Copies of this chain bind each other. A is one copy, B any other.
């Protein structure tokens, strides 16, 4: 008797996590080996709670719409398994109740820890459920692979938006400091992607500060002042996770912002650095946080990223169908120019709970910008424009599945 497939999504949303979901569904539909395709709502939490829906999406145009819809259509959670028998029992009860033979979990490194633990548990219980992962994170911080799906689209959004912000700030004659803050608490991949704004010969950010390098207020002010000797505007891109040499986050500095209600508030890194610039340099300042926009702007997704994300979903299910468990799909790069990749599976134990950070050899000598190695790495990942459908003047997206 054929088994059913269960799919769930986890962690922070991205522009292409639904493309991976669509890839799994499409592969399942073609396989002939799967009875029903089910979705777990709000990640492993929903699986535990038995919150399961049937994904009745056997229509190509619906799958196409899902492919281009940002964020997690099935909902997400931020739950890390505690290696607790109670939790495993709840999950496997759901598996039994719904006759699950395959579970595909799409997420980042916490989610791969779930895949690892759960596959071991199922094996230990002699349960015939193949548990596999598919990668997802805009942060690009997963080990054992060239890059993660979601990253390229966020990078493209950032590169395009920085190029447009440049058009804006260059229009003024007065001295200004604009600081753009990018997501990525520990890894500076996305922040580095701002350098791609110069892909057509336009200006690159004057300085790029990554969390991999200890931040210094003095160096920052020196850098900005040196730029102001050349242009009236200085445009700086920073990671939200910048830290001083003493390990403190820049956004949690001692002189912390007190919010309107008397509580200590985490003001953003960009906010603090523009306050510093205003106090010390006296120019007009503007902090800009890309916030959620960088991870959900599917209208400017990278076509390369969307296509790869979909393939990864398909590859993950193929592995499960061929009997693998405890593994996840990944992309490896064969060459950058021409851009060639290959897909394979990797043990989740090698990926879970690790973070891949930017190598300092990909930064310039002053460590306040990236060098050509980084640009060569980034460039292929933002190529191609995703063909989303606009209707009534706004993008048309797949409704949330609940």
* B255–A257 touching, CB < 8 Å: no
- Whether the pair B164, A293 counts as a contact (CB closer than 8 A) is yes
**Closest B-chain residue to A275, C-beta based?**
B259
Contact yes or no, B199 A160, CB < 8 A: no
For the complex, count residues of A whose C-beta is within 8 A of B. 77
Q: Which of B13, B199, B300 contacts A168 (CB 8 A)?
A: B13
The answer, yes or no, to whether A26 is at the interface (CB within 8 Å) is: no
Partner among B13, B200, B379, B390 whose Cβ is within 8 Å of the Cβ of A171: B13
> B393, A199: Cβ atoms under 8 Å?
yes
Q: How far is the CB of A170 from chain B (nearest CB, A)?
A: 5
Pick the interface stretch among A70-78, A108-116, A140-148, A241-249. Answer: A70-78
Say whether A272 faces chain B, with CB atoms less than 8 Å apart: yes
**A202 to chain B: closest residue by CB:** B397
Interchain CB contact under 8 A, B286 and A261: no
- As for how many copies of this chain the complex holds, the number is 2
- Cβ contact within 8 Å between B394 and A163: yes
Within 8 Å of chain B (Cβ to Cβ): is A396? yes
Among A89-97, A262-270, A312-320, A345-353, the one that faces the other chain is A262-270
A57: CB under 8 A from chain B? no
Instruction: Determine how close the nearest CB of chain B comes to the CB of A139; give it in whole angstroms.
Output: 15
Residues in B whose Cβ lies below 8 Å from that of A292: 165, 168-169, 178, 286, 288
In contact, A293 and B165 (Cβ under 8 angstroms):
yes
Whether, in the assembled complex, A399 has its beta carbon less than 8 Å from a beta carbon of chain B, the answer is: yes
Please state if B160 and A394 are interface contacts (CB–CB under 8 Å). Answer: yes
- A391 within 8 Å of B (CB atoms): yes
Q: Which of B169, B262, B297 touches A255 (beta carbons < 8 Å)? A: B262
Which residues on B sit within 8 Å (CB–CB) of A330? none
In the complex, A169 Cα to B12 Cα: how many Å?
Answer: 10
CA A394 – CA B161 in complex, angstroms?
Answer: 9
Check if B76 sits within 8 Å of A172, measured CB to CB.
yes
Interface presence of A364 (CB below 8 A): no
The reply to whether A171 and B395 form a contact with Cβ atoms under 8 Å apart is: no
Taking each of A178, A297, A379, which has the highest tally of chain B beta carbons within 10 Å of its own beta carbon?
A: A297
Question: A70-B167, A253-B260, A275-B260 known; A394 and B288 CB under 8 Å?
Answer: no
Interface string of A184-201 (1 = CB under 8 A from B): 000000000000110110
Q: A255-B260, A256-B260 are in contact. List 5 more A-B contacts (CB 8 A).
A: A70-B168, A165-B296, A261-B276, A261-B278, A263-B275
Task: Show 7 residue pairs from A and B whose CB-CB distance is below 8 angstroms, ordered by the A residue.
Answer: A45-B173, A156-B393, A253-B260, A257-B257, A258-B258, A263-B279, A382-B393
Question: Which residues of A approach B to under 8 Å, CB–CB?
Answer: 9, 13, 42, 45, 69-72, 75-77, 156, 159-161, 163-165, 167-173, 178, 196-197, 199-200, 202, 253, 255-263, 265, 267, 271-272, 275-276, 278-279, 286, 288-289, 291-293, 295-300, 302, 379, 382-385, 390-397, 399-400
Q: Which 10 A-B pairs have the closest CB atoms?
A: A71-B167, A382-B393, A199-B392, A255-B260, A168-B296, A261-B279, A164-B296, A72-B171, A259-B275, A76-B171
